[in-house]
Structure 1
Amino acid sequence: MKTKAQERAKFAYEKVKEALEILGKGSAKEFSSFVSGLPAMILQNGLGHTLCFLLAKAANQKESKYKKTGKEAKYWLAFEALAEWLKKQDLLNYDPDNPAQTIHELTRKRALEYLALQEEALRFLEWFKVMTKMFVEEKSA
Structure 2
Amino acid sequence: MQTIQQQRAAYALKAVQNAAEDQSIHSEYKSYASNLPAMIHMNGLGQAIAFFKAKSAPEKPPQQRNAKEKAYFSLYEMLSDWLCSKGDLITPMPLQPYHRHNDVLNGITSEDMHTYRFAQAEAQALMDWVKKFAKAFMTDDDNGEQQQ
TM-score range, shorter chain: 0.7 to 0.9
Residue 32 of structure 2 aligns with an amino acid whose one-letter code is: F
Paired position in structure 1 for 2:126: 124
Q: Residues of 1 paired with 2:114 and 2:25: CA distance?
A: 37
Instruction: Identify if the C-alpha distance between structure 1 residues 3 and 57 changes in structure 2 by more than 3 Å, giving closer, same or farther.
Output: same
Instruction: Identify if the C-alpha distance between structure 1 residues 130 and 79 changes in structure 2 by more than 3 Å, giving closer, same or farther.
Output: same
Q: How does 1:99-118 map to 2 (within 5 A)?
A: 99=103, 102-118=104-120
Q: How does 1:1-80 map to 2 (within 5 A)?
A: 1-21=1-21, 23-24=22-23, 27-60=25-58, 64-65=59-60, 67=62, 70-71=66-67, 72-80=69-77
Residue 2 of structure 1 aligns with an amino acid whose one-letter code is: Q
Identity %: 31
Q: Could you tell me the TM-score, scaled by structure 1's length?
A: 0.81
Q: Residues of 2 paired with 1:105 and 1:91: CA distance?
A: 8
Structure with a larger share of its residues in helix: 1
Q: Could you tell me the TM-score, scaled by structure 2's length?
A: 0.77
- Which blocks of at least 5 consecutive residues in structure 2 are unaligned? 86-94
Kept in 1: contact 2:28–2:71 (CA 8 A): no
Q: Residues of 2 paired with 1:27 and 1:59: CA distance?
A: 15
SS in structure 2 at match of 1:59: coil
Paired position in structure 2 for 1:90: 96
Instruction: Identify if the C-alpha distance between structure 1 residues 5 and 139 changes in structure 2 by more than 3 Å, giving closer, same or farther.
Output: farther
Q: Residues of 1 paired with 2:101 and 2:110: CA distance?
A: 14
How many pairs were matched up?
A: 131
